Amino acid sequence: MKKRRAIIVTILSIFVFTACEDVIEIDLDNIEPKLVIEAVITDQTLQQTVKLTKTGDYFEPGIYPAVSYANVIIRDDLGNSENLPEINPGVYQTTNLQGTTGVVYNLSVEVEDMEYTAVSEMPVKVNIDTLSTEFFEATPRFDEGYMVKCHFTDPAGISNYYRFKIYENGILLNSSGDFIIRDDKIFDGNAVQIPLAIKTFQINDTVAVELLSLNKDTYDYYNTLIGGSSGPGDMMSSSTPANPVSNINNGAMGYFGVYTISSKTIIIQ
Amino acid sequence: MIDITSGIEDFNLKEDFQYFINPKNTLKFGFNCIYHTFMPGEISSDDEGFINSKIIDEKYAIESAAYFSHKFDVSNLLKITYGLRYSNFSVIGPGIVYSYNENDEIIDSTSYNKGELIKNYGYFEPRISASYILNKKSSVKISYARNAQYIHLLSNSTSSTPTDLWLPSSTIIEPQICDQLALGYFRNFNNNTFETSVEIYYKDMQNQIDYQNGADILLNEKVESQLVFGSGRAYGIELFIKKKTGKLNGWIGYTFSRTERTFNEINEGNWFPSKQDRTHDVSIVGMYSLNKKWTLSATWVFNTGNAVTFPSGKYVIDGLTIPLYTDRNGYRMPDYHRLDIGATYTNKKKKRYESSWNFSVYNAYARKNAYSIDFRENENDPTMTEAVRLALFQIVPSITYNFKF
């Protein structure tokens, strides 16, 4: 038997590749608002702040009700304790508490017949040695300009975790793409220079950098926070959407962060 | 530009034999052997200095299997096929194997040389099916099969970057074991003009894998520390009707099915739909011979959208709007449906060759099926958040010339 061969020729395929983006309506569940705790202790102030709010529905305007009349207490493992008065709706503040390396802090929030607690230890403080700049040609991602590098010396033999906050002419760069966190796995014990690769700056810009020394819990929270939010972090982590890994118990959102801050400022020249 | 790639490369050696003992007995046996190379990921960037190019070590494995099956016609009415397959999966070096504690930290690592055996799995896979002819028009069929699957498909559940990843079994990931039981009833009508069937099935699946909450997976050499392990089940009913003859022919198929999984660490251990759960699946295919030259065709498909994780609420941390998630895969992508139409013009048959023209339109009513849905802040009003759909291939007309010789 003679074999038949087939040739298929697509003469013309008017490929109307109109990839189209549009805003659509999606039905999302209305959920019982959850408590959100944003509690931070740093080594920079005596007035440490705890903010209490509630979550809102996703497609509603971003109005997050303040949670008042809560009983907020911070204790440390040296036997000190402070009851935080509510200075503004949902904002509770200490009057005399400065974060100290090696001290373990306990947060307790009692509200609506529930108690939420968290424990966090102040890590070793790492200071910025200096800031430098490097000129870059324009790339698809950045304009031509100067990138700021942060120099510091990582303490050897312990795990260190960092976050960088960058202020451009006094304004914090604060979108999810501006979130820079690092651990020291690949540079433990080294003098390092970390390029703050979120933006290039121009001559005469004033750039302030804060180096936050985090403990592992706070680092994990930030790491899963930007991974789960709808920012560019999502693309790179490419995993599964989930709430950030929090150190607060009983299902509250938010975190109890305890960190040191070292800052330096540079004027681009 | 950032390029991210991952893939599998296989060399496959395969041999099958058939032995007709007598008209009532056929024996089949064979073996195959596959050499797998897994390339978990490579990231390369020409955006110098900002992203380090990174390659995750390749992994190697040999998958081999031998089987036999016996087709045995007990009588004219009862036919039985049974068999046994033995499959083996060897993870081989070079490679470094890590072990982790419950905080996903590496506690130990072992290095293996090229060709050295790291881990070996072997399973017997029995299978049996029987069909029985009830009468001239109808028959029933029942089957059971066990399958060992050594390569896992890991799907993320985000709607914004749908990604599938293939992961081989390893010291930590155990092979999937699947037991399937199926039952079918087949019946013809109108002198075999119509063929119909009803089939039901149930599958039990062991050693399922999924991402743990907050998993960081892409280009992570510790990917195995980001997984959770559980079990799965699938069940469904398939209805099918086919018209085989006449000017108008075609078929209609409908499947109701669920594919569910459970993990202690996800959704409080409750069963939840996997991404592949389609619930309702319909396909309608029709062909109409207008005359000797023209044939018209139309296909309509519908399925329930994939199970995905959408945010239910939101809140603010550090000045950023953060989505609040409730259940893994608690939502659905919009339903997928599409109509394709076509017309074929067959040229007069020549002695040496035949040819035809095909005119078709893909997605004829330009349904905007969602490839992805992104949740983001509104550009003009950052207090508002919105869902943005990306749709591909809205309407694609094409002309094809077929030539046979």
Total Cβ atoms within 10 A of residue B89: 24
pTM here is 0.81
Per-residue pLDDT averaged across B321-349, rounded? 91
Predicted confidence (pLDDT) per residue in B21-45, tens digit: 998 999 999 999 999 988 766 555 4
Taking the C-alpha atoms of residue B303 and residue B334, their distance in angstroms, rounded to an integer, is: 9
Chain B residues in contact with A234 by the CB 8 A cut-off are 158, 160-161
Q: Give me the residue label for tokens 């998958």.
A: B63
**Cβ atoms within 10 A of the Cβ of A40, count?**
18
Q: What is the pLDDT of residue B1?
A: 40
* A236: pLDDT strictly greater than 50: no
- Cβ contacts of B317 on chain A, cutoff 8 Å: 36, 38, 225, 253-255
- Tell me the chain A residues in contact with residue B315 when contact means C-beta distances shorter than 8 Å: 34, 36, 53-56, 64, 253-254
Place of tokens 């072997």: B122
- Which of A20, A58, A239 is closest, CB to CB, to B156? A239
Token code pair at residue A130: 């200096």
Alpha carbons B172 and B100: distance in angstroms, whole number: 10
Question: What would the mean pLDDT of B309-338 be, rounded to a whole number?
Answer: 91
Reported as a single tens digit per residue, the pLDDT across A10-50 is: 555 555 556 788 898 888 888 889 999 999 999 999 999 99
A241 and B218 in contact by Cβ < 8 A? no
Helix (H, G, I), strand (E, B) or coil at A237: helix
Residues A193 and A132: beta-carbon distance below 8 Å: yes
Q: Are strands A253-267 and A35-42 parallel, antiparallel or unpaired?
A: parallel
- State how far residue B274 is from chain A, nearest Cα, in angstroms: 13
Residue in B326, B331, B403 nearest the CB of A7: B403
How many other C-beta atoms can be found within 10 angstroms of the C-beta atom of residue B156?
24
Helix (H) or strand (E) holding A219: helix A216-228
Q: Residue B200 pairs with which residues in a beta bridge?
A: B183, B237
Of A44-48, B2-6, B175-179, the one with minimum mean pLDDT is B2-6
Lowest mean pLDDT among A194-203, B44-53, B333-342: B44-53
Residue B354 CB coordination number (10 Å): 16
**Which chain B residues are closer than 8 Å to A20 by Cβ?**
368, 390-391, 394
Joined tokens for residue A106: 């306990």
- DSSP summary character for residue A2: P
Average pLDDT of the residues in A132-155 = 90
Q: What is the least distance, in Å, from the CA of B358 to any CA of chain A?
A: 9
Nearest to A23 among B312, B388, B402 (CB): B388
| Residue of chain B minimizing CA distance to A63 | B383
Whether the CB-CB separation of B209 and B241 falls below 8 Å is answered with no
Q: How many C-beta atoms surround the C-beta of residue A244 within 10 A?
A: 22
Say which residue the tokens 């055996």 belong to. B117
B344 pLDDT higher than 50: yes
pLDDT tens-digit series, residues A88-111: 999 999 999 999 999 999 999 999
* Structure confidence at residue B221 (pLDDT): 65
Alpha carbons within 13 A on the beta-carbon side of A250: 15
Distance of CA A160 to the CA centre of its chain: 16
Tokens of A199: 């933006």
**Cβ neighbours of B318 in A, within 8 Å:** 38, 174
Burial of A161 (0-12, 13-18, 19+ CB in 10 A): buried
A238 closest CB neighbour out of B217, B322, B324: B217
* pLDDT band per the 50, 70, 90 thresholds, residue B379: confident
Mean pLDDT, chain B, as a whole number? 88
Strand spans (E) along B76-133: 78-92, 95-100, 106-112, 117-133
Q: Most distant CA pair in chain B: distance in Å?
A: 79
- What is the percent of chain B where pLDDT is above 90? 55
What is the C-alpha separation between B217 and B227, in angstroms, rounded?
Answer: 9
**CA B254 from chain center: how many Å?**
18
Which SS3 state, helix, strand or coil, does residue B223 take? helix
Structure tokens at B372: 């992805």
Per-residue tokens: A134: 């490097």
Count of other CB atoms within 10 angstroms of residue B221: 15
pLDDT of residue A16: 54
Concatenated DSSP letters for A168-180?
ETTEE--SGGG-E
Among B309, B63, B290, B60, CA closest to B162: B309
Q: Give the three-state DSSP class for A233.
A: helix
- Whether cis (ω within 30° of 0) applies to the bond prior to B94 is yes
Q: What number is the average pLDDT over the span B316-335?
A: 90
- pLDDT (0 to 100) of residue B372: 86
> How many beta-carbon pairs below 8 A join chains A and B?
236
pLDDT at A178: 85
CB A9 within 8 A of CB B358: no
Q: Does residue B301 carry a pLDDT above 60? A: yes
| Range 88-147 of A in CB contact (< 8 A) with B | 136, 139-141
Average of per-residue pLDDT across A198-226? 92
Q: Please give the pLDDT value at position A4.
A: 53
Largest distance between two CA atoms of chain A? 97
Query: Contact B395/A56, CB-based, under 8 Å?
Result: no
Residue A152 has pLDDT above 80, yes or no: yes
A136 to B49: CB separation less than 8 angstroms, yes or no: yes
Contact status of A171 with chain B (Cβ, < 8 Å): no
pLDDT band at B59, cuts 50/70/90?
Answer: confident
Asked if A228 and A243 touch (Cβ cutoff 8 Å), the reply is yes
Task: Please list, in sequence order, all residues whose beta carbon lies within 8 angstroms of the beta carbon of residue B153, skipping any fewer than 6 positions away.
Answer: B164, B165, B166, B167
d(CA A55, CA A32): 9
Q: Is the pLDDT of residue B46 over 70?
A: no
